[in-house]
Amino acid sequence: MKPITFQTKIYEILEEYPQLEDTLMQLSPAFAKLKNPILRKTIARVTSLEQAAAIAGIEAGEMVQKLRVAAGLGALEPQSVVWNQIPTEQPEWFSEAMVKERFHATAMIESGQVPMSLILSKAKTLSKGEILEFSTPFLPVPILELLSSKGFGVWSKKPELEGEPYHNFTTPL
């Protein structure tokens, strides 16, 4: 049996413990997207439980505990959870006029492709002050954390209506 930790990928959990799909669905409606076999084989392979919790807007420690208990592994000792928080308020560096390029990643994701490398390539071409906007059907925590770790400012604008995409912005700092 594989352990279930904050860094365990969603795909690994569903392969090792297929019965946990129902538990995930109960934790958040955001996990209903895992029913899509393309998203399950692509995005789920690179998304950790910690990142998935951030996407779903739930506390990662609670999510890991519930999954461990449902898998029969028992709860872990309580510990604090730390991950890069994705800013929800418009940052000072953002200006609509400075958006150099808009990239709609939703179609690419829905066709089974992973846009991470393309987004990183586009971000690397930005000059200081220029902004890349990329839209996605969910909060793309893994790519936003990666961009942040590489010295980019990131911001994600939550959709106002269900079914609309997230608008994500990045700029070199």
* Closest to 166 in 3D by CA, of 144, 137, 133, 123: 137
Least trusted range by pLDDT, from 19-28, 84-93, 141-150? 84-93
Query: How does pLDDT run across 93-128, given as a tens digit for each residue?
Result: 999 999 999 999 988 877 777 788 899 999 999 999
Secondary structure (3-state) at 173: coil
CB atoms within 10 A of CB 52: 29
Bridge-based pairing state of the strands 166-172 and 131-136: antiparallel
| Cα–chain center distance at 124 | 20
In the chain, where are the structural domains located?
10-70, 96-172
Q: What is the amino acid identity at position 165?
A: P
% of the chain beyond a pLDDT of 70: 92
The pLDDT score that the predictor gives to residue 83 is 42
Helix (H) / strand (E) element for 42: namely none
Which CATH number is 96-172's, of 3.30.110, 2.30.30, 3.20.20, 2.60.40?
3.30.110
Q: What is the mean pLDDT of residues 37-52?
A: 85
Q: Give the pLDDT mean for 82-100.
A: 80
